[in-house]
Amino acid sequence: MTAWSTAPAGPGAPPLLTEQAADIEQIWDAFFYIALGVGALVVALLAWVILRYRHRDDVLPRQRHAHIPLEIGYTVVPLLIVVGLFAVTFGSVRAIDELGDDTDLVVEVTGFQWQWQFEYPESGLTVVGDETTDPELVLPAGATVRFEMTSLDVIHSFWIPAFRFKRDVIPGIVTRFEVDVTDATGTFPEAGVCAEFCGLDHHKMGFGVRVVTADEFETWAAQEAGR
Ligand SMILES: [Cu+2]
């Protein structure tokens, strides 16, 4: 597991590999800067109270029972922030949950203790990792890819930080999501991990991601099928 495979968005974060990742990154940024602002306000108010009302004599500062506008303000403003963040998050998750009619490729992901298997049903291909070798998830650039995921044993979580998205992989249930892979090609070793602690060798559930052109994908699939 490389440092960046669990790093949040920001400097050093992996490149965005899906169209949806850019939206999600914006939401992460919004959360970050709003949290920073709220944190700064709290620290500033604390510092002001500590300094302004520090113990100087035994006279209490002026006591006040209620301040209605202030109380309404500090209830309504956080509520608006939470509702706003919920709304944008809901929108972006729905964009990934919505399965369109123009899927180019289906990848069936199976998590198990302690590796991953990627199946490409249309080409009859199976890529599976083992103790010593991480599997590589090969994706065609520019394609709309649907992931259909399940687990053979316990709950895992399929996490490609470059997607800025992860989803639980649950035994007995198929979870799905769909993303549009960007046009950039490249090889990203250790780009994926399991993000749900699933036992002793949980940390060994890494996998690589390789994004190739549509033609290269066909060639790869034909080669693998011929093996
Ligand atoms: Cu796992």
d(CA 62, CA 21): 52
| 11 vs 170, higher pLDDT | 170
Ligand 1 (single-atom ion) residues, CB below 5 Å: 156, 194, 198, 205
Q: Are 15 and 21 in contact (CB under 8 A)?
A: no
Residue 226 Cα to ligand 1 midpoint, Å, equals: 30
Report helix, strand or coil for 147: strand
Centroid of ligand 1 to alpha carbon of 110 (angstroms): 10
Residue 76 parent element (H or E): helix 68-97
10 burial class (0-12, 13-18, 19+ CB within 10 angstroms)?
A: exposed
- CA of 124 from ligand 1 middle (Å) equals 25
Tell me, in angstroms, the distance from the centre of ligand 1 to residue 117's CA.
12
Whole-number Å distance, alpha carbon 167 to ligand 1 midpoint, is: 12
118 Cα: distance to centroid of ligand 1 (angstroms): 14
Global confidence as pTM:
0.81
Closest alpha carbon to 88 in 144, 36, 33, 25: 25
The three-state DSSP-derived secondary structure of 78-136 is HHHHHHHHHHHHHHHHHHHHCCCCCCCEEEEEEEECCEEEEEECCCCEEEECCCCCCCE
Q: Which residues sit opposite 110 in a β-bridge?
A: 117, 150
Residue 10 confidence class, pLDDT cut points 50, 70, 90: low
From the CA of 7, how far away is ligand 1's center (Å)?
18
Query: What pLDDT, in 10s, does the model give residues 117-153?
Result: 999 999 889 999 888 889 999 999 999 999 999 999 9
User: Residues 65-121: pLDDT tens digits?
Assistant: 899 999 999 999 999 999 999 999 999 888 888 888 889 999 999 999 999 999 999
16-59 pLDDT, tens digit per residue, is 999 999 889 999 999 999 999 999 999 999 999 999 988 888 88
Distance from residue 105's CA to the centre of ligand 1 (Å): 24
Report the alpha-carbon distance of residue 100 to residue 146 in Å, rounded. 9
Distance from C-alpha of 171 to C-alpha of 112, rounded to nearest angstrom: 9
Going across the sheet that includes 105-112, the strands are 125-128, 115-120, 105-112, 144-151, 175-180
d(CA 224, ligand 1 centre) in Å: 26
State the distance from the centre of ligand 1 to the C-alpha of 112, rounded, in angstroms. 7
**pLDDT tens digits, residue range 191-202?**
999 999 999 999
Q: Which two tokens stand for residue 202?
A: 């949980």
Amino acid, res. 6: T
3-state secondary structure of 154: coil
Ligand 1 centroid distance, CA of 200 (Å): 10
For every residue of 20-62, DSSP letters joined together read HHHHHHHHHHHHHHHHHHHHHHHHHHHHHHHHHT--SSSPPPP
Ligand 1 mean position to 164 CA, how many Å?
18
CATH, domain 12-227, list 2.60.40.420, 3.40.50.2300, 3.60.15.10, 1.20.1580.10:
2.60.40.420
- Cα 150 to averaged position of ligand 1 atoms, centre (Å): 11
